[in-house]
Amino acid sequence: MRVLFRVDASVTIGSGHIMRCLTLAKALLKHGAICRFACRNNKGHLIDLLQQAGFKTLSLPAELFGEEDDALATLGLITEPYQLLVIDHYQLGQRYGKLLRQRCQKIMVIDDLANRPLECDLLLDQNLLPDMDSRYRSLVPAGCQQLLGPRYALLREEFYQPHCQRIPNHLLVSFGGSDEQNLTSMAIEAIASLKSLPVTADIVIGLNNPWQASIKQQCAQLSNVQLHIQTNAMAVLMQKAQLMLGAGGATHWERCITGLPALVVPVAENQQATTAYLDKLGACVWIGAYSDISPRIIADKVSYYLSKPEQLAAISEAAKRVIPKDTGTLQVVEQLTKSVA
């Protein structure tokens, strides 16, 4: 099976779309698929990361104006047909999919906005929402197979494997690949202020983090924190932490499968509904909008929850119930294999 992924990363977009597609591509590769990527050459693109992982990547111009322009540029780089096109892009919808049909047999769209018509044979939305079964009813073609909910979350294999035990008072801080609001710096400042608690922390940022230099300087001044840049050890870091400070998005499902309690600040509008629902289920704690957060608020929340081990245990158990252990990326691969065969 030949598979083309159309997905982008940038300082503004972040790295989440690329990382989940990379997870799926690696899983498909193990099942004999040949995977390629097509990405815009934006500032903060991760084309080098994809190529280092062994995937040929077609480089599209950074400036493309609309779906048709993007589709024509993509078609201009395709030299052979593909059995499957995977689109993970909020700016591409029905028009793009229809144009790519001439070179791609089947299409899967990865989405969570449900805000535009889509041309696809399969739809993947791994988010957990009360209305997830009806959100796309008028947006996808009749007969489109919908893979909905975190049982289809695109998680790497290591998240299903036990690695280590939790360390008391140990935090994990990760606000996504870009963290445009610089919440990471706020969290580090909060950790530095917790003089009466024996807190340690792993700080995770992405290659596209625009505050990288100042964050390195902050961490260098603290003996109780360790900085990780574009780490491949997120599963281990989640399993050893007692509490996480982070954003919403795909990280929700990584936390849930590892049972990691989290204080969450959504950093994008599309993260709010799922974060609110998980908070309602007791699977995380939404501590506020990013515009209202301060180091003092973070410090107070961390201090409170670290002093309430029974509440952390309850959050952990609720999170574990969100994603069954026998589901995830392999479920998606199985469905794709059946559909494209």
pTM over 0.75: yes
**Residue numbers annotated as active site:** 17
Evaluate if residue 296 carries a pLDDT over 80.
yes
Q: What is the pLDDT of residues 271-284, one digit of tens each?
A: 999 999 999 999 99
Question: CA end-to-end span of the chain, whole Å?
Answer: 8
Fold of 2-155+326-340: Rossmann fold (3.40.50)
**Nearest Cα to 78, choosing from 122, 49, 36?**
36
DSSP output for 116-179 = S----SEEEE----TTTTTTTTTTS-TTPEEEESGGG----GGGGS---PPPTTEEEEE--SS-
User: Is 156 annotated to bind ligand?
Assistant: yes
Lookup: tokens for 281: 């289920």
| Same topology between domain 2-155+326-340 and domain 158-320 | yes
Lookup: tokens for 308: 């309430």
Evaluate if residue 25 carries a pLDDT over 80.
yes
Lookup: tokens for 42: 């934006």
For residue 39, report the phi and psi dihedrals to the nearest 5 degrees: -135, 145
Q: What is the pLDDT of residues 211-246, one digit of tens each?
A: 999 999 999 999 999 999 989 899 999 999 999 999
> What is the architecture of the domain spanning 158-320?
3-Layer(aba) Sandwich (3.40)
**Is residue 38 within 8 Å of 232, Cβ to Cβ?**
no
Tell me what pLDDT residue 238 has.
96
Query: What ranges do the domains of the chain cover?
Result: 2-155+326-340, 158-320
User: Is 254 annotated to bind ligand?
Assistant: yes
**Nearest Cα to 242, choosing from 281, 297, 200?**
200
